[in-house]
Amino acid sequence: MPEKRMPERRCVGCMQSFPKASLIRITCGEQGLVIGDQKAPGRGVYICPRPECARLADKKNAIARGLKRPVSREEMDRLIRMIEETVPEGGSHGGQADAR
Ligand SMILES: [Zn+2]
């Protein structure tokens, strides 16, 4: 049976696919990285709202590669910080639900 599928995008950190709506879109604007703007024009990459993924992407230089432009140290740090602030404390996804 045909199902209505959510468009999926791949996280540049963990390289896994997730529904687009659960990822953060990153594009490059004139002032640097535009984070979380789903409608920003131009080339974009997606990342999970998880600090681990931001660090992974940083290590692999995946954002610069995905956007085809260099990303400065400050921009990466800003991105990582923003994601850390976005994530509720102790929050994670994809792991086992370890209820108490
Ligand atoms: Zn990820």
For position 80, which CATH number holds? Answer: 3.30.1230.10
- Would residue 98 count as lying in a domain? no
Higher pLDDT, 46 or 91: 46
For ligand 1, an ion, list residues with CB under 5 A: 11, 13-14, 48, 53
Kindly report, residue by residue over 6-44, the tens digit of the pLDDT: 899 999 999 999 999 999 999 998 888 999 998 999 999
Kindly report, residue by residue over 45-82, the tens digit of the pLDDT: 999 999 999 999 999 999 999 999 999 999 999 999 99
Q: Indicate the number of domains in the chain.
A: 1
Question: Distance from the CA of 13 to the center of ligand 1, in angstroms?
Answer: 5
Measured CA to CA in angstroms, residue 45 lies from 3, 9, 25, 64, 100 at distances of 26, 9, 6, 9, 35
- Would residue 48 count as lying in a domain? yes
Beta-bridge partner residues of 8: 19
Residues 42, 28: contact at Cβ < 8 Å?
yes
Cα separation of 64 and 61, whole Å?
Answer: 6
Instruction: Evaluate the CA torsion angle 61, 62, 66, 67 in order and state its sign.
Output: negative
Instruction: Evaluate the CA torsion angle 22, 50, 26, 44 in order and state its sign.
Output: negative
Question: Distance from the CA of 55 to the center of ligand 1, in angstroms?
Answer: 10
Question: Distance from the CA of 4 to the center of ligand 1, in angstroms?
Answer: 24
- Would residue 29 count as lying in a domain? yes
Q: Supply the pTM of this predicted model.
A: 0.80
- Would residue 50 count as lying in a domain? yes
